[in-house]
Structure 1
C-alpha cells in the first residue's frame, strides 16, 4: 500500500523495483498544515487543484517558508454510499497520498505521488469535525467540485429563475436544523456563522466546476441559502467572503479496476486510488482571495480579469462537443471518446457545430485563436491513453446541456437567418440519450440527478408515433429550461422528426444524410 513509508523507499531509489521512475513530494509533509477545505474529492479535483497546490509546496523557495506550508488540503465527502465509504477508508489508509499519471498523446508518461491532501472527512459521519475545520482560523479557502448541477439554482423560466432553490428537501431540512447540516450550503453557512461569532474573517469560496461564471453562481447559491437562514449572516458573508470566477480544464477519466491495475503495474506502487490525467491542464482565475492564497502564478495558473472569455470558449467548444460525442457514443454502444471521434461522420458533425454555430458567435479570449483552440481540443479528445469513458461525460446530461449548450442554442434560435439543423440534431441526440436505449435495442442507465421519477418516465417514453401529446411531454423536461422561451411547435416537430431519423437510420447514417 502507498504510505509515508513507501515515500522513503521511493525517494532513496530513482527507479522503483525496475518500474517507471516515480516522483515524490520534495517537501516535508509533516510540516504542511491545512489551509484549504475542499468539498467533492473526485478525480478532477485530485488532478487539478490538488496538483497545483502540490506544485506550489514543491517550489524550492518554499522549503523554509512556514507561510508557504500552510496550504494543505482537507477533503470532505458529502455522501455516505458504499463507494464513498471505501474512498474515505482508502484515503485514511494512505494518509491522503495517491499517484498521478499524466499521459501525453504521443505516449509519454509522467508519474508522481502527490501529498497536498492532508486528510479526508466524511461529512455524514464527521459533521462536527467539518464544521470545526470551517471555523478554524487556519482555514482560508473553501473550494468546491460539486458538479455542474450541484449549485441548486432554479433554471425554470419565471420569477424564480436564477435564484437559489429553497424548497428542495435537503435544503429545507438544513434550514430547519442548521446546527446539523447535510448539504454543502448548510455546512458553509454554519461554518461562517461560527467564524463570525468568534471574530474571525471570511474565506474565499472557490468553485472549480465547469459553470459559466462559476464564482457568481457560487455567490448566488451560498448567499441565497444564508439569506434564508439569517440575513445578518448573509450580509457578513457578502462583506467578508469572496467568490472568484475561474475556468478549469483537464481531462481526468474514470479509473476502472483494469486501469488501476495497469497504472500500478507501471508505477510499481500498490495505490488504492491511482489517478490518470492528460498532460494538458489549465486554470484561469480572478485574483480575488479574501485571506491569501498559494503562489499559484508560479506553477502555471493564469490570473485574469477576463475569465469569462476563457470560460465561454472552453464551455462552448470543449464541453459542448464532449457532450455531443458522448451522447452519440452511448447510443452507438461505443465506450471511449477517442473511438467515437474516429468516425468521420461524427468528427465532421462536431467540426461543423464548432465552425458554423459556435465560433462565429464567440468572443475569443485574449491571445487565443479559436480555430487553433478547436484543433487542440479535438487532438486531446483523440488521446487514446485517456481511454475516457463516454458514460462519465454523459452522466447528468440534463444539467450539462443547460450549462454547455445554452448560449449556442440561444444564439442560433434567436437568429432567423441561421440554419438550426445542427442544433436540432443535438437536441434529438440528447433526448435519445435520456431515453436510455442504444441503437441495438439494449437498455442503459444514466445518472440523472436533475430528473425526478415522473420526469424519468417521460424521458423513457418509447412511442414517438403512438401518441403526439405524449411525445410532446419530453419538451417539458428541464433540459430545455434555459431556452424554453425560444421553443415553438414547429421546432419541437423538427426535433421529433430528427429523433425518428436517428432511430431509423442510426447515428452515423443520420449524420451522413442531412435532414430535410
Structure 2
C-alpha cells in the first residue's frame, strides 16, 4: 500500500485522465457548512458545488461537520479535504478529484467551535444529510419527538449540542444576538417534503428554547425542499486499492458512484446560492411531484429488492436484478403500484424513467449491498412504501407487491434468515421490532402481521384497520415460511 496520501502537493502529478481542480483552492471562501459529510454528500451536493467553484463561484466553499464520529475528518483532513468521486458503470471508470471541501469539524470534540463556524456571516447555507433519524422526529406524524435523547440533552446543554437541530438553533441564537442575518437550511435527505419537515421540527425545537427566538428564526431562515438521487454504495478496501493503482497515491476518502445524478431544488434561498442549474440541477417552485416519483419508484423498489433480495441470498442489487423473476418484479411494481399512486406531470416520460431505473439497478460495476439499503427500515418504510399503500387501499388498487415487501421486512427484522443464521439488523427500532417477532411469531402469522401493523411508530394508527392489507401480509408470510423468498418470487412473478 502506498504511504503517500492524496493532498494538494501531488495534485499536478496525478495522471492526465484524472479530472482535478484547476482553480486556486486558497481563493475559495466558506459559504456552505454541511452536516453529515458522508459518502452521499461528497458524491452529490459537493460534486455539484465543485463544478460551480471551478466555474468561478469561489465564495461557495464547503466546511463539513460530523455530528457523531471523527471517521470522515480523519479521512479528509490529512488530504487537505481532497477526495475522489469514482464513477463506475458497465462502460468503465471515471475519476474526478473534488476540492470544494476545505475542512471538517467534529461536533463532539469541539461543539463551541462548530457553533461559532455556523454563526459566521459568510455562511449562507447550512445543508444536511443526517439520514431520517437525524431529524429527531416521529416518522408517523412528522412532529419533533420531545423525548428523543438528543433533544432532551440539547435543551439542557445548549452550548454543547448533539443534534443538528441543537446546532442550527444555537447558531441562529448567536446570529440574532450579534445582529447578523440568518441562513438557508437545506435538507438533502430522502424524506418526503423534507423542507417542510425540517422547518416544522426546527420551529418546534426553537419554541422549546425561547418563543422570541422561534419567531426570529421563522423570519430569518428558509428551508427549501429538495429531491436527491445518485446511487452511492459504501466504499470497500478493494475499491480503494483499485483507485490507488490509478492515482499512484492513497485516497482514504474516495466515494464510488453511478454516472447518473439528479437534484431537484425548491428555489427559495435567503441569501443566494450557487448556480447549480448550470451543472444539471433543476431549480423549481414545487419539488413534491418529483420527490414522490423518486421515493415511490426508485426508493420504494430499492427497499423492496433489498429485503427480499437479502433473504433470497443476493449480496448486491445487481445480483438481485440478475435473477429474471426479480427483474420482472421490479418493473411490475413500478408500473402497477408505484406509478399509479402519483399524478405524473404530462411532460415527464415515466416509462423512460422506469426503464432507466432498471438499467441503474443492473449496474454490476457498483456493488451496492442489499444489507446497506436495508438499514433503518423503520425510518424509511413510512416514506418509501406507506404513501403508495395508503393511496392504493383508498382507491381499491393493487397491493400485491407492497404486502410482499412488508412480509419480507418482517422476516428480515426477526434477525434470523431462512437458513437460521443471524441477520445483523441495523435500525434504531431493531430491539422493539425483534421483540414483536419473538412474542407473536409463535402465535402464528395472523398475530404477527396484526401486531406489526399496530406498531404506530412505523404504521401510524390507520393501517391496522385494513383487513385486506393484513390478510395480504399474512398470505405472503405463510408462503415465505413454506417456500422461502426466491421460490415465492419465481412462482408469483416469474411469468410476468
Alignment of 1:103-252 (within 5 A): 103-105=88-90, 107-156=91-140, 161-252=141-232
Q: Residue 420 of structure 1 corresponds to which residue in structure 2?
A: 399
Question: Equivalences for 1:86-485 in 2 at 5 Å?
Answer: 86-105=71-90, 107-156=91-140, 161-365=141-345, 367-416=347-396, 418-449=397-428, 451=429, 453-459=431-437, 463-465=441-443, 469=447, 472-478=450-456, 480-482=458-460, 484-485=462-463
User: What is the rounded CA distance, in whole Å, between the counterparts of 2:222 and 2:136 in structure 1?
Assistant: 19
Q: CA deviation at 1:214?
A: 0.9
1:4-63 Cα shifts (integer Å, max 9, x gaps): 1111323xx62xxxxxx211101111111111111101111000010011100111xx2x
Shift of 1:258: 1.6
* Secondary structure class of the residue paired with 1:124: coil
> 3-state SS of the aligned residue for 1:448?
coil
Q: Quick one: distance in 2 between partners of 1:213 and 1:470?
A: 32
RMSD of aligned Cα (Å): 2.0
Structure 2 CA distance for partners of 1:260 and 1:303, relative to 1, 3 Å: same
Picking from 33, 36, 41, the partner of 2:32 is 36
1:78 aligns with 2:62: no
CA contact (8 A) 1:414 1:486 kept: no
1:98-145 Cα offsets, whole Å, 9 max, x none, are: 01111233x232211100011001100011110001110111000000
Contact in 2 for aligned 1:434/1:460 (Cα 8 Å): no
Bigger drift between 90-99 and 486-495 goes to 486-495
Deviations 1:264-305 (A, max 9, x none): 223333111111101100111011111111121221111111
CA distance in 2, matches of 1:440, 1:353: 27
Task: Write the distance in 1 (CA, Å) between the matches of 2:415 and 2:358.
Answer: 26
- What residue in structure 2 maps to residue 511 of structure 1? 489
Superposed displacement of residue 333, structure 1 = 2.1
For residues 407 and 468 of structure 1, do their structure 2 counterparts lie closer, same or farther at Cα, with a shift above 3 Å needed?
Answer: closer
Q: Which whole-Å CA distance do the structure 1 matches of 2:446 and 2:92 have between them? A: 54
Distance change (3 Å), C-alpha of 1:367 and 1:483: farther
CA apart distance, 1:162 = 2.8
Alpha-carbon distance in structure 2 between the residues aligned to 1:366 and 1:282: 19
Whole-Å separation in 2 of the counterparts to 1:233 and 1:162: 22
For residues 83 and 346 of structure 2, the distance between their equivalents in structure 1, rounded to whole angstroms, comes to 36
Q: TM-score with structure 1 length normalisation?
A: 0.90
Q: 1:140/1:94 Cα in 2 relative to 1: closer, same or farther (>3 Å)? A: same
Separation (CA, whole Å) in 2 of partners of 1:33 and 1:76: 16
- 2:12 aligned residue: 8
Partner residue in 1 for 2:50 = 54
SS in 2 for 1:73: strand
**Cα distance in 2 between the residues matched to 1:319 and 1:455:** 22
State the SS of the aligned residue for 1:247.
strand
Distance (whole Å) between structure 2 residues aligned to residue 396 and residue 192 of structure 1 = 30
Q: Structure 1 207/342 Cα, relative in aligned 2: closer, same or farther at 3 Å? A: same
Aligned length: 489
Closer/same/farther in 2, CA of residues 179 and 5 from structure 1, 3 Å limit: same
Q: 1:357 to 1:452 in 2, by over 3 A?
A: closer
| Aligned-pair CA distance for 1:86 | 3.3
Instruction: Say whether the 8 Å CA contact 1:121–1:130 is kept in structure 2.
Output: yes
Given the superposition, is the C-alpha separation of residues 511 and 146 from structure 1 closer, same or farther in structure 2, using an over 3 Å criterion?
same
Report if aligned partners of 1:401, 1:479 keep a CA contact under 8 Å in 2.
no
Structure 2 residues not aligned, in runs of 5+: none
Alignment of structure 1 residues 11-22 onto 2, 5 Å:
14=16, 21-22=17-18
Unaligned runs of 5+ in 1: 15-20, 63-67
